[in-house]
Amino acid sequence: MQHIGSMLSSHPRAGADDTDARARTVAALHACAQACTSCADACLAEDDVASLTRCIRTDLDCADVCAATARLLSRLTETDGNLVRAQLEACVVACRTCAEECEGHADHMEHCRLCAEMCRACERECMEVMRALSA
């Protein structure tokens, strides 16, 4: 996260108020995207993969939304606040949906338990940065 914060802080249009929140959120988004991608792959390796179709789909959707959100939050030039807020809201929904699905498998699949935890953490970070950006 330190590198992300340094990059954001070095931007000519960086705002001192939200740089730390953005950096934490971008790091959480990258971590969540990676966890969801790994979880989807692990689900594909399970014996009863057909029963995990929804889990795989929500993992991949969440990974894609998190990656796109991280890219938008990393761009500070001519930021469209409405677009960023809408993307963060979509990310909260994707993380919540994925976490709920993975929590349904968490008692017998460690990768789902870990993914659900990461999704919940990312959901919280997205909500926090939305508050910081609205202030």
Could you state, in order of their start, the residue ranges of all structural domains in the chain? 2-10+17-134
What is the reported pLDDT for 57?
98
Q: Is there a contact between 103 and 127 (Cβ–Cβ < 8 Å)?
A: no
The residue type found at 129 is: V
pLDDT over 90, % of the chain: 72
Per residue in 60-95, pLDDT (tens digit) is 999 999 999 999 998 887 889 899 999 999 999 999
CATH architecture of the domain with residue range 2-10+17-134: Up-down Bundle (1.20)
Q: Is there a contact between 116 and 123 (Cβ–Cβ < 8 Å)?
A: no
- What is the C-alpha to C-alpha distance for residues 26 and 120, in angstroms, rounded to an integer? 15
13 vs 96 pLDDT, higher one: 96
What is the reported pLDDT for 134?
79
Please check the confidence at residue 12 and state whether its pLDDT lies above 80: no
